[in-house]
A and B are shown apart, each in its own frame.
Chain A
Amino acid sequence: NAGVTQTPKFQVLKTGQSMTLQCAQDMNHNSMYWYRQDPGMGLRLIYYSASEGTTDKGEVPNGYNVSRLNKREFSLRLESAAPSQTSVYFCASSEVRSGDGYEQYFGPGTRLTVT
């Protein structure tokens, strides 16, 4: 049971290049999320997918697109990378627990540098 996996772990891009960050979970969770973490900041939500076939914007969606390929996989695409997108990217998934509680499970993160 791997939990949430992300690829790649590290990536360096030049300004204007594109790339896709991959995320997969094996816990049969309905909801998946993409966050970014910048120095001195907490995590900020980029996009989320409440269930297979749906996606929606979070707090900082500009410059990104997402695809919920199936229940397991949720990818994040940078069409034209900018230095401001240098960050650590976390994917997460969750399922509602009994009552109103739940826990988000996070992947190990992708460290992206845009030069």
Chain B
Amino acid sequence: AQKITQTQPGMFVQEKEAVTLDCTYDTSDPSYGLFWYKQPSSGEMIFLIYQGSYDQQNATEGRYSLNFQKARKSANLVISASQLGDSAMYFCAMRNTQGGSEKLVFGKGTKLTVNP
């Protein structure tokens, strides 16, 4: 079975500094995808970044980058130059294609607090 583990229940970072949120995964599927979503206190789920298992380069989207280490089965999210608006829950998720659809398996999340 596929599994996502986020070991940091909470993280704190100073404004303008970089922070890394950890995510490890377990799957026997040779083809998979990893996602990060942000959930602010308002509750909506916001897509941040995607990494495919066959992608040669680490994904980047603005201030977000994904440190993908396939051999270690990790897909850590790096946020550079943190802003107060980055305070939120962050979820790592893996694509599960069993059953013919693109289901997501989520980790339990990390609560990030950005301090001024």
Contact = CB atoms under 8 A, between A and B. Distances in A.
A104 B102 contact: yes
B99 interface: yes
A108 B102 CA distance: 20
Interface residues of B, number: 28
Interface of B: 4, 6, 31, 33, 35, 37, 43-45, 47, 50, 52-54, 91, 93, 95, 99-109
Contacts of B50: 101-103
B99 A99 contact: no
B44 A100 contact: no
Nearest to B37: A106
A86 interface: no
A96 B102 contact: yes
Nearest to A99: B52
Contacts of A88: 43
Contacts of B95: 102
B103 A42 contact: no
A33 B103 contact: yes
